[in-house]
Every structure is written in structure tokens, then in C-alpha cells.
């Protein structure tokens, strides 16, 4: 990894994540549990390193998308509760029981399968019931005339052998959007969710241990939705408008270096398709950073990257393994000079807005060939290259 480190790399500031965790904890209060969302390799930040940190800090739960992601954490020593939010094939149920992993149940078919496999394995699978209150994706449908059938289906699942229904949850579709209609929709989802819980608990004659629904937008804007546990994603990593409002710190900085410098005459087309043509003699820096590293091609010829002399405009189309910046008026930027793709000086929020997307997509897009370097107290504490060496 050392030989590739100065090509293109990501720096992950664990102190920033710890700071964000503490600030969010202060906001939600000591009686509310904290679930750290670490799916998709902790949105590109490193699921093992982030989970180790959250476990150390006293978080209550982790959430992943798949059994493979959950098992990766377990075999790397993570002992705290883990919830799988996505689909798990029924054949994996014995492993979930063996490793103490919690599974989301989203419909009768899944409940039937998981119950049968748990009984066959001679164990008990801890589950959280997913309620579809308006995301229209996964969960027991309880809106628009389906309240009674949804409630009865959840009650049935909670009573199935081999299943321990520890929790119940839903997911907000518009909590991070501004406007009265968006707010009303979130409040409708929350009201429906609490009605479902009340109806189910009344029929079961016992209460769920953990009720959760507050994602990043809800944590920032709707404190009434905190219930027993919150699930902040973007907030934890310090990105987005809500993170800025709360004074949170971005956790990742992407860097590369200038590998080659060329001076082209006026009228030279740069990169594929000739999207950019020089209008004067132009000094171009070639960077070993392209869409195979996670640089969205939609940013071609649109954004700037940050050099020691300030922003340098991206020129031409982004290639698989490289891109080009204009350093005509930057005489001290030379081969080997460091360039910030996003970070403290080149906001990922601005870059995401330029691409018409969200910061999540940019951090998740950082590919496995980009080494991650982890910092704590200003010192490198870990390095990871996901390529097989």
C-alpha cells in the first residue's frame, strides 16, 4: 500500500466522527439509544474502523444492509448489537443466530421463512419489524386502508416461533426536505407509525423494547420522533446542511497529486470528445484520479479542485484513471503537488450540488483501489487498502 499511497487517497478523521457522535448525543439526550449506520463500508469511511470507534464511544446499535456486512464486523471483533436493514436469504438464518445478529422483517413471507429456519436451527432470531408508513419500499403496508391488515400481519410475525421481536421501525421519506407539504408528510408517517405500535402492543399485551424511526433529517428537525433510538447517517459523518447547522465536522478528505504537467497551445482539445478547447497557451496538470476511483463523470468540466494556490478548474471529460486541471496561473503547483478533491478547503457539499447528487454518493463511490488513511489525535492510527495484495 505504501507504493500507492501518494497516488490518490482518502483521509478519514476519526476525531471528527467522535465529535459528531458526541454532539448528536447531546441533542438527543441520554435516554435515547444511538444506532450508527455503517452500511456500504460506513459510506466509504471504513465500517470496521468506524464501528470500533462507535463501540468504544458507547453507541447502542449498528446498522448494515446485508448479512455479509454484519459478519464482516463480527469476525473483526465487533460485539455490539447489529441490525441488518436489507434482505437476507433464509439459508443464512443459522449464521445470524450463531453470531447474534438482528434481522429486519418486512413482510409475511420473510417472517414465515425466518421463523421456519430458526426453528429448524433450534435457536431464536432477534428481529425488528419494518413498517411501511409512506416510503413505499419495504415493510408491512399500513396506510391507505391497509391499517388493520398491516397490524394483524405484524402481530402474527411477533408470535411466530423462533423469532424474538425486539424492535419495530419505519423510515421517513421526506424528513430532510423543506416545505409544509414535506413536513406534513413526515408528521403523517410518524402519526401512523405510533398508531400502528399502539395497536400491535395492545393486541400482544406487551411493548417493544426499541421503537425507532428518526433518520438524519428527523434527528435535526423533529425531536418528537426520537422515541427509543435514532438512526443518523449523514449527520454522523458530518455532511449536509443539517450537519453544518449543528456545527458538525466532515470526516473524509480526498486527496491526489499532480502526476504530469503539459503546456498546450491555443486551440488544443483536452480529453475525450473535445469538451474543452484551450483559448490560449494552457498549463494542464494531469491527476491520477478518475471515475474508477469514484470521481463522478457528470462533474466533467464543471467543478474545481483545490491546490496550494487555490481552486483549479477541471478541464475536459473525466477519464477512467485520470482527470485534468488548469494550472496556467499557478506556477508553484508542480509535479507531486498535493490536490484536495474534497475536504476542508473544497466542500463535498458543493461538489455534490455541482453533480446534482448528495454527499453520500461521493463518499460511497470512493473505490477499493483508493487507500484509506485513518487519523486520531492528529496521528495516523491505521491504513487500509482493499485491493488483494
- CA distance linking residue 167 with residue 22, whole number of Å: 24
245 domain residue, yes or no: no
- 231 and 259 together in one domain: no
247 domain residue, yes or no: no
162 domain residue, yes or no: yes
Residue 1: its pLDDT value, please?
A: 40
- 223 and 96 together in one domain: yes
46 domain residue, yes or no: yes
Contact by Cβ (8 Å): 370, 6:
no
- 63 and 160 together in one domain: yes
- CA distance linking residue 366 with residue 291, whole number of Å: 9
- 159 and 206 together in one domain: yes
Buried b or exposed e, range 201-223, using 16+ CB within 10 angstroms? beeeeeebebbbbbbbbbbbbbe
List 120, 146, 159, 272, catalytic entry: 272
186's grid cell: 413526515
**Residues listed for the chain:** 389
- 124 and 173 together in one domain: yes
CATH number of the domain encompassing residue 50: 3.20.20.10
pTM value is 0.94
Residue 385: its pLDDT value, please?
A: 81
> Crossing angle of helices 147-158/180-204, nearest 10°?
50
Residue 5: its pLDDT value, please?
A: 57
- 173 and 262 together in one domain: no
Which parts are annotated binding residues for substrate? Answer: 137, 320
**For the chain, how many structural domains are there in total?**
2
pLDDT tens per residue, range 143-184: 989 999 999 999 999 999 999 999 999 999 999 989 999 999
- 128 and 181 together in one domain: yes
- 227 and 338 together in one domain: no
- 229 and 257 together in one domain: no
Helices first, then strands: H and E counts in the chain:
13, 21
- 49 and 196 together in one domain: yes
Contact by Cβ (8 Å): 216, 240:
yes
Mind giving me the DSSP string for 98-166?
Answer: HTT-EEEE-SHHHHHHHHHHHHHHTS-EEEEEEEESSS-SSSEE-STT-HHHHHHHHHHHHTSTTEEEE
pLDDT tens per residue, range 271-291: 999 999 999 999 999 999 999
39 is annotated as an active-site residue: yes
List 39, 110, 130, 255, catalytic entry: 39
pLDDT tens per residue, range 250-270: 999 999 999 999 999 999 999
- Please, where are the H alpha helices in the chain? 14-28, 39-43, 47-57, 67-75, 93-98, 108-121, 147-158, 180-204, 216-221, 234-237, 241-245, 348-355, 359-365
Domain span including residue 216: 32-237
Provide the Cα torsion 337, 338, 344, 347; round to 10°: 90
- CA distance linking residue 387 with residue 389, whole number of Å: 6
226 is annotated as an active-site residue: no
CB atoms under 10 Å from CB of 56, counted, come to 10
- 77 and 207 together in one domain: yes
Distance separating the N- and C-terminal Cα atoms of the chain: 8
Backbone φ, ψ for residue 139 (5° rounding): 120, 165
- 221 and 337 together in one domain: no
Residue with C-alpha cell 450463531? Answer: 98
Q: Which residues of the chain fall below pLDDT 50?
A: 1, 3
Nearest one of 382, 248, 355 to 299, comparing CA atoms: 355
Residue 361: its pLDDT value, please?
A: 94
Amino acid at each position: 500500500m505504501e507504493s500507492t499511497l501518494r497516488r490518490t487517497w482518502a483521509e478519514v478523521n476519526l476525531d471528527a466522527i467522535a465529535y459528531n457522535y458526541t454532539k448528536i448525543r447531546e441533542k438527543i439526550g441520554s435516554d435515547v439509544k444511538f444506532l450508527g449506520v455503517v452500511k456500504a463500508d460506513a459510506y466509504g469511511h471504513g465500517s470496521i474502523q468506524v464501528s470500533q470507534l462507535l463501540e468504544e464511544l458507547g453507541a447502542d446499535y449498528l446498522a448494515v444492509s446485508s448479512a455479509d456486512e454484519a459478519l464482516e464486523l463480527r469476525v473483526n471483533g465487533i460485539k455490539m448489537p447489529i441490525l441488518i436493514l436489507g434482505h437476507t436469504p433464509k439459508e443464512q438464518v443459522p449464521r445470524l443466530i450463531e453470531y447474534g445478529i438482528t434481522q429486519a422483517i418486512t413482510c409475511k413471507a420473510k417472517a414465515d421463512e425466518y421463523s421456519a429456519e430458526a426453528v429448524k436451527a433450534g435457536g431464536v432470531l432477534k428481529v425488528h419489524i419494518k413498517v411501511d408508513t409512506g416510503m413505499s419500499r419495504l415493510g408491512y403496508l399500513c396506510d391507505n386502508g391497509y391499517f388493520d391488515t398491516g397490524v394483524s400481519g405484524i402481530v402474527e410475525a411477533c408470535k411466530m416461533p423462533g423469532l424474538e421481536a425486539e424492535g419495530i421501525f419505519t423510515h421517513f421519506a421526506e424528513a430532510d426536505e423543506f416545505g409544509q407539504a414535506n413536513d406534513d408528510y413526515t408528521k403523517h408517517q410518524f402519526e401512523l407509525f405510533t398508531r400502528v405500535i399502539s395497536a400491535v402492543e395492545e393486541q400482544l399485551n406487551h411493548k417493544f423494547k426499541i421503537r425507532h424511526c428518526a433518520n438524519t433529517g428527523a434527528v435535526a428537525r423533529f425531536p418528537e420522533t426520537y422515541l427509543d433510538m435514532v438512526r443518523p447517517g449523514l449527520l454522523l459523518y458530518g455532511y449536509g446542511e443539517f450537519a453544518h447547522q449543528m456545527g458538525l465536522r466532515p470526516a473524509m478528505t480526498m486527496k491526489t497529486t499532480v502526476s504530469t504537467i503539459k503546456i498546450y497551445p491555443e486551440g488544443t482539445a483536452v480529453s475525450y470528445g473535445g469538451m474543452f478547447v484551450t483559448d490560449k497557451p494552457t498549463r494542464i496538470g494531469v491527476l491520477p484520479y478518475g471515475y474508477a476511483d469514484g470521481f463522478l463523470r457528470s462533474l466533467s468540466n464543471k467543478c474545481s479542485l483545490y491546490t496550494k494556490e487555490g481552486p483549479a478548474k477541471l478541464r475536459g471529460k473525466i477519464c477512467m484513471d485520470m482527470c485534468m486541471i488548469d494550472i496556467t496561473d499557478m506556477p508553484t503547483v508542480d509535479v507531486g503537488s498535493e490536490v484536495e478533491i474534497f475536504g476542508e478547503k473544497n466542500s463535498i457539499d458543493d461538489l455534490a450540488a455541482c453533480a446534482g447528487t448528495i454527499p453520500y454518493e461521493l463518499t460511497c463511490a470512493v473505490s477499493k483501489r483508493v487507500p484509506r488513511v485513518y487519523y486520531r489525535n492528529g496521528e495516523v492510527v491505521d491504513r487500509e487498502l482493499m485491493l488483494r495484495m
